[in-house]
């Protein structure tokens, strides 16, 4: 299928319109605050995961959140919540977890964070470090904060 070619004035106007809508690379005044809030959420996520604080960890999720871990089907946060205490009790103790967002992008009421992480667990008395990457979509809540809406992650070399 062939599409008509726009005339130069129309094409130029369209470019200006598109740049005005989404082409700005500058931060809005609230973007920096939103990014700091998301960074704080990721830090709290890691701390809660290490300490086994399921209540705090679950509070970081939107009620319609979906977790997509490696090796198992995606599952709603309601399913995760029903099983998290038992699952965390069975896992090896965690010594540390660091989440390093490489990108945090804000698009109105949505945001995404992409980055890497590492988790150090104690298995049989020895420390084992696992490294991985993640892509998380966050949704703005009524109070202006962001919560996890979709979370996909996997380990490197698994």
Walking along the chain (158 residues) 10 residues at a time, the average pLDDT comes out as 44 40 52 95 97 97 97 96 94 94 96 97 93 98 97 89
Confirm whether 36 is domain-assigned. Answer: yes
3-state DSSP assignment of residue 155: strand
Confirm whether 150 is domain-assigned. Answer: yes
Confirm whether 104 is domain-assigned. Answer: yes
CATH number, domain of 127, equals: 3.10.450.50
Confirm whether 84 is domain-assigned. Answer: yes
pLDDT the model gives residue 27: 52
Identify the domain containing residue 106 by its residue range: 30-155
Question: How many domains are there within the chain?
Answer: 1
pLDDT the model gives residue 140: 97
pLDDT the model gives residue 157: 79
Confirm whether 130 is domain-assigned. Answer: yes
CA–CA distances in Å: residue 85 to residues 57, 58, 79, 96: 11, 11, 12, 19
Task: Give the C-alpha separation, 147 to 158, whole Å.
Answer: 28
Confirm whether 55 is domain-assigned. Answer: yes
Confirm whether 132 is domain-assigned. Answer: yes
Confirm whether 54 is domain-assigned. Answer: yes
């Amino acid at each position: 299928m062939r599409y008509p070619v726009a005339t130069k004035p129309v094409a130029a106007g369209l470019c200006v319109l598109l740049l005005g809508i989404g082409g700005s690379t500058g931060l809005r005044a609230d973007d920096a605050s939103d990014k700091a809030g998301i960074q704080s959420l990721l830090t709290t996520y890691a701390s809660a995961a290490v300490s086994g604080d399921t209540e705090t960890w679950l509070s970081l999720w939107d009620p319609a959140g979906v977790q997509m871990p490696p090796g198992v089907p995606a599952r709603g946060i309601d399913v995760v919540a029903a099983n998290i205490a038992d699952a965390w009790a069975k896992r090896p103790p965690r010594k540390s977890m660091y989440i390093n967002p490489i990108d945090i992008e804000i698009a109105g009421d949505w945001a995404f964070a992409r980055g890497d992480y590492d988790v150090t667990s104690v298995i049989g008395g020895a420390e084992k470090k696992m490294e991985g990457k993640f892509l998380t979509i966050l949704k703005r809540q009524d109070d202006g904060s962001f919560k996890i809406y979709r979370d996909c992650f996997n380990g490197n070399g698994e």
